[in-house]
Amino acid sequence: MIHPITESVEFIGNWFLPNAENAKKIAGTLSWSTQRASLDLHDAFTPLQGTVYGDEFQSYPVVYGTTINSKFITMLKATGGAKGLSFGPAGINQTEKVASNLVVVGGHVTPETHYKEIRVRIPGLQIWIGRMGIQQTFLHKTEHSSSGVIYQIDALPEETTEVPCLPATLGWGIDRRFSGDLISEISVRSSACLRIQPGQPQKLDWYFEQIGKTTTLLAFMAGSPMSPDHITAKAADSNLEVEVLVALRDAKYCEHKSGSNFYMLRNDMGADLEAVIMKWFELYDTFSAPSQLALSVLSSKDLWLHVEFLTLMQALEGFHRATMPGLYTSESEYEAIRKTLSNAIPNTVKPDHKDALKARIKYGNEISLRKRLDALVNRLPIDLRQNVLGNDGTVPNSWVDTRNYYTHWDETSRESVLDGIGMHRAGVRMKHLLRALYLDLVGIPHSSIIKSLGNACSESQYLIQLNGIEHRKKNPGSQAGAFMHISVSDAGNSDESAS
DSSP state of 368: P
- Given a cut of 50, is residue 46 above it in pLDDT? yes
Other residues' Cβ atoms within 10 Å of the Cβ of residue 439: 23
Alpha carbon of 184 to those of 139, 179, 180, 187, 372: distances in Å? 20, 11, 8, 11, 63
Alpha carbon of 263 to those of 137, 258, 489: distances in Å? 31, 11, 42
Q: Rounded distance, CA 149 to CA 36, Å?
A: 47
- Given a cut of 90, is residue 259 above it in pLDDT? yes
DSSP string, 54-97: S---EEEEEEEEEETTS-EEEEEEEEEEEEEEEEETTEEEEEEE
Per-residue pLDDT band at 497 (split at 50, 70, 90): very low
pLDDT single digits (tens) 69-107: 999 999 999 998 766 656 556 556 788 899 999 999 999
* Per-residue confidence (pLDDT) for residue 498, from 0 to 100: 45
Contact predicate 222/439, CB 8 Å: no
Nearest residue to 430 (alpha-carbon basis) of 392, 389, 397: 389
- Given a cut of 60, is residue 207 above it in pLDDT? yes
Average pLDDT over residues 295-321: 95
Per-residue pLDDT band at 249 (split at 50, 70, 90): confident
DSSP state of 406: H
pLDDT single digits (tens) 261-285: 999 999 999 999 999 999 999 999 9
* Per-residue confidence (pLDDT) for residue 4, from 0 to 100: 95
The lowest-confidence range among 39-48, 82-91, 135-144, 402-411 is 82-91
Average pLDDT over residues 115-121: 98
Per-residue pLDDT band at 475 (split at 50, 70, 90): confident
- The ranges assigned to domains in the chain are 9-105, 115-136+150-268, 285-326+367-474
pLDDT single digits (tens) 341-391: 999 999 999 999 999 899 899 999 999 999 999 999 999 999 999 999 998
pLDDT single digits (tens) 394-408: 999 999 999 999 998
Contact predicate 114/105, CB 8 Å: no
Per-residue pLDDT band at 499 (split at 50, 70, 90): very low
- Given a cut of 80, is residue 22 above it in pLDDT? no
The pLDDT > 90 percentage for the chain reads 71
Torsion of CA 380, 386, 390, 395, to 10 degrees: 40
pLDDT single digits (tens) 453-466: 999 999 999 999 99
- Rounded to 10 deg, the angle between the 382-389 and 420-441 helix axes is 150
Q: Rounded distance, CA 177 to CA 175, Å?
A: 7
pLDDT single digits (tens) 152-186: 888 889 999 999 999 999 999 999 888 888 788 88
Q: Rounded distance, CA 75 to CA 427, Å?
A: 42
* Per-residue confidence (pLDDT) for residue 21, from 0 to 100: 65
Average pLDDT over residues 303-330: 95
* Per-residue confidence (pLDDT) for residue 440, from 0 to 100: 98
pLDDT single digits (tens) 402-441: 999 999 887 887 888 999 999 999 999 999 999 999 999 9
* Per-residue confidence (pLDDT) for residue 491, from 0 to 100: 61
pTM equals: 0.88
> Cα-flanking dihedrals φ and ψ of residue 228, to 5°?
-80, 150
Per-residue pLDDT band at 473 (split at 50, 70, 90): confident
Beta strands in 258-413 (DSSP E): none
DSSP state of 20: S
The lowest-confidence range among 120-124, 127-131, 233-237 is 127-131
More confident residue, 202 or 141: 202
H or E element in which residue 487 lies: none
Instruction: Mark out the alpha helices in 77-230 (DSSP H runs).
Output: 125-129, 204-222
> Cα-flanking dihedrals φ and ψ of residue 325, to 5°?
-70, 150
